[in-house]
């Protein structure tokens, strides 16, 4: 008898977690398994992996309630520090951005801005907004993935860092399209955020320049 849960192949080996493609009760799925770290005490390592697994899974569940596209969580296995998620069939934005025409880029990046604004409005910081963590499906739906560095915060500083990291990604990986895409992103972000909190969205965006002048990032736990 075939197992209803099958990991078929490793598709990405990361520093913190490995991703496997497989099947979960007849559904194509991604298995995200946080691997043990031998340099940490076993009990501490287990606690850290469990905490991060639960944090990511809960974030994915909550984010869907805001009407944002992200992978559906099928199962959380605390014992093995694993999350089983729906497989999103599509292409990473990073791989197809160059093929898009100007109008499509503008429309898409405005939508990305709206997505991130909704996260920030509800006290979520993604932590790793990159074009590698966005999937575009065949019918042009946008999915935000990989909430492994997700955190909860209402801090303007944390939200500004989230945006600034995305800005750096656009400059370093998509320099040719940076100005147009970033402008469209900020337009969507401001329009969505300002529906409820006009002043805060302005402060978040202005603070990006402050972060840039510092030349380095200060970890949240190290801030005064």
Domains for the chain: give ranges and CATH numbers. 5-86 (3.30.200.20), 91-222 (1.10.510.10)
**pLDDT for 166:** 97
CA distance 32 to 17: 6
Per residue in 64-76, is it b (16+ CB within 10 Å) or e — as a string? eeeebbbbebbeb
**Res 220: pLDDT:** 47
Q: What is the pLDDT at residue 215?
A: 65
Q: Rounded CA gap, 206 and 128, in Å?
A: 20
How many helices (H) and strands (E) are present in the chain, helices listed first?
Answer: 6, 10
Residues carrying an active site annotation: 128
- pLDDT for the residue 2: 63
Cβ count within 10 A of residue 31: 27
| Residue stretches of the chain with pLDDT short of 50 | 1, 217-224
Cβ contacts of 45 within 8 Å, gap of 6 or more? 36, 37
Task: Tell how far CA 27 is from the center of its chain.
Answer: 23
105, burial (CB in 10 Å: exposed 0-12, middle 13-18, buried 19+): middle
CA distance 92 to 135: 5
Instruction: State residue 221's pLDDT score.
Output: 45
Nearest to 71 by CA among 152, 162, 142: 142
pLDDT at residue 198 in the model:
64
As a whole number of angstroms, the distance between CA 144 and CA 126 comes to 9
| pTM beyond 0.85, yes or no | yes
């Amino acid at each position: 008898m075939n197992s209803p849960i099958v990991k078929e192949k490793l598709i990405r080996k990361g520093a913190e977690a490995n991703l496997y493609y497989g099947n979960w009760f007849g559904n194509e799925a991604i298995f995200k398994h946080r691997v043990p770290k031998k340099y940490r005490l076993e009990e501490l390592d287990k606690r850290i992996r469990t905490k991060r697994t639960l944090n990511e899974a809960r974030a994915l569940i909550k984010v869907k309630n805001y009407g944002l596209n992200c992978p559906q969580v099928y199962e959380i296995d605390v014992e093995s520090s694993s999350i089983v998620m729906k497989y999103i069939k599509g292409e990473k934005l990073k791989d197809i951005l160059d093929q898009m025409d100007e109008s499509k880029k503008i429309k898409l990046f405005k939508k990305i801005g709206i997505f991130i604004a909704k996260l920030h409005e509800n006290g979520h910081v993604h932590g790793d907004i990159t074009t590698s963590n966005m999937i575009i499906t065949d019918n042009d739906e946008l999915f935000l993935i990989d909430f492994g560095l997700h955190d909860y915060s209402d801090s303007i500083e944390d939200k500004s860092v989230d945006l600034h990291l995305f800005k750096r990604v656009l400059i370093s990986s998509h320099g040719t399209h940076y100005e147009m895409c970033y402008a469209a992103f900020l337009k969507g972000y401001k329009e969505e955020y300002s529906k409820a909190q006009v002043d805060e969205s302005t402060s978040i965006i202005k603070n990006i320049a402050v972060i840039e002048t510092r030349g380095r990032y200060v970890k949240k736990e190290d801030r005064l």
